[in-house]
Structure formats: structure tokens, C-alpha cells
Amino acid sequence: MSDRKYSDVSTRKGHVGLLAADGSPAASYRPGRTLPLRIELVRQLKRRRTQVTFGLVALLPVILWIAFSLSSDDETGQSVSLVDLAQGSGSNFAIFALFASAGFLLVVVVALFFGDTIASEASWSSLRYLLAAPVPRSRLLRQKALVAGFLSLVGVMLLPVVALVVGTLAYGTGDLVSPTGESLAYGTAVARVLLGGLYVALNLLWVAGLATLLSVSTDAPLGAVGGAVMASIVSQILDQITALEDLRNYLPTHYANAWSGLLSSAPDWGDMTRGLFSSVLFATVFFAAAAWRFHRKDITS
């Protein structure tokens, strides 16, 4: 086995490389092969945090079904709401579960996976060792963000999928009936529910970007996660203040429920398009700021 010693140097392209003591490049080092996605994904899937998060998301529809089973059906109001219709069919139940969780639970899921990316490594004092491997900072941030994005998408989509299964087993394959009285066939309703879940996931891109920015700015994962969740809550509160009028359109959560238009037989894609554009714009700014901050940050942990 070779006794050559290696030292870190900067290449002409600005990447960190390894040179042997005699000045020759280390053949085993390739910046593009450091921190493979598969390795990072397996590592994150083995964490108790990931397993508990997926477990709670999958358990929510079961809890809702139990709650409906224990509730009384005697009281009826003058108006019909999603709660009243939730037990009408499996698709109605899934729609209610998505509405009930999109404003907070799913925000926490996305904030947790992205807010924990860099901050957790810093809190474990392992970040400097990752960079000393050396893993280029841009690749480290990108690989972790890609894995966090995949886990977030799985976590968000897990809810409507499990809700559809639980609701269908409990309430059958009847038509989806909206509060306005419109109905959709079960097959169409399933597609709309899944499309609604995908919209929610994409609409939460701004939460992902903000959580990443906070993650590279602090060594406390809970601070990054909590900051992103708090920003979502504040935005939702401001969106309820009618005195702000058109200013509310610029809030990142203003179009969070635009996917409800999918419950119509002829969906209006206008608000959904504006919601996706707003989310992507906020996410781009936050991710760019996170990359800028991480490249200039002194790593001490």
C-alpha cells in the first residue's frame, strides 16, 4: 500500500483537488464522484427522523378515519363543507385529508428535510470533515438538496395515496362531490387528488428554499426548521388580513389552496399557474442566497 501523503490544493478551475507529495494528482479522487446520491439517500432513509416522519404522515389518514368513526352523524348544518362530505367516498376523504394537512403538517415535512441538510452536519461537527474529504461545497449542497427534495416529494405524496387507500376501503368508490354540488367519477377524482398533492409539493418549494438558506446560516437544525415553519404561519396570517388587499397576492402562501379548483369538472388553471410561478420565484431567490452564503461561510464545526 502506498505511503504517499496527499495535500489539498485549488485547481485552475477553482475546485479543490488532491495532490500527492511528489506533485502528481491522486488518481482515486474525482470531485464529481464524491457524496453519491445513492449513499446520501440510504443514509437519510436510515435516520429515525425520516422513518418517524413518513410513519406519522401515513398514520394521519388512519387517525382521521378513527375520528370519523367515533363522531356522531346526527348534527347537520345549513351549509355543506368538506368535513360533511368526507365520508361520502374514498376520494372525498382524501381531499379532506389533504386540505387538513397542507397548511401545516406538510409544511413541517418539507421544512424538516431541507432545514436539516447542512445544519445537522454542523451540529454533529461532521461538516468540516465532509468538506475535507474533499467534497466541493456546491456539490455537497446540491446532493443534499436533491435528496431532501426527493424525500419531501415522497412525504407529501404519501398522504393522498394512503388517504385514497384508507378512504376507499372505508367509504367505497363513489363519486367525488364538492361543496358546490359538482361531482366527478372515481377514476377522475383519483387523478385530481394526486394532481392536487403534486401541486402542494411544488407550491412548497419556497419553504424548501427558505429552510435551506436557514440551514446554511445556523448550526441548529431546529432553528432552520422552525424558522421556515414560522415564516409560513406568518404568511398565512397576513393573507387573512383583507386590509392588505392586492398586496396579499405577493405572499408565498396566497395560492396554497389553488389546487381546490381541481374539484370542478372544468378546472381553472389560472390561480394554480400563478401559485407555481410565485413558489418557483421565491425558491430560486432563497436557493441562490443559500448557495452564496454557504460558499462564503467559515466552517468551524
- Tens of pLDDT, residues 100-112: 999 999 999 999 9
Q: Which residue has the higher pLDDT, 87 or 4?
A: 87
pLDDT at 9 over 50: no
Confidence of residue 63 (pLDDT cuts 50, 70, 90): very high
**Comparison of pLDDT for 267 and 148, the residue scoring more:** 148
Task: Report percent pLDDT > 70 for the chain.
Answer: 81
Residue range 32-61: mean pLDDT, rounded: 89
Q: How far apart are the C-alpha atoms of 181 and 16, rounded to whole Å? A: 62
Instruction: Check residue 182 and give its pLDDT.
Output: 85
* pTM confidence score: 0.84
With contact defined as beta carbons under 8 Å apart, do 221 and 123 qualify? Answer: yes
Residue type, 74: D
**Pair 236, 103: CB distance under 8 Å:** yes
In the chain, where are the structural domains located? 1-33, 34-296
SS3 assignment, position 16: strand
| Beta strands per DSSP E along the chain | 6-10, 16-20, 176-177, 183-184
Of the candidates 284, 45, 255, 251, the one whose C-alpha atom is nearest the C-alpha of residue 148 is 45
Q: In 170-201, which positions are buried (b, 16+ CB within 10 angstroms) versus exposed (e)?
A: bbeebebbbeeeebbebeebbebbbebbebbb
Asked whether 279 and 252 are in contact (CB, 8 A), the reply is yes
pLDDT tens by residue, 126-141? 666 666 667 778 888 8
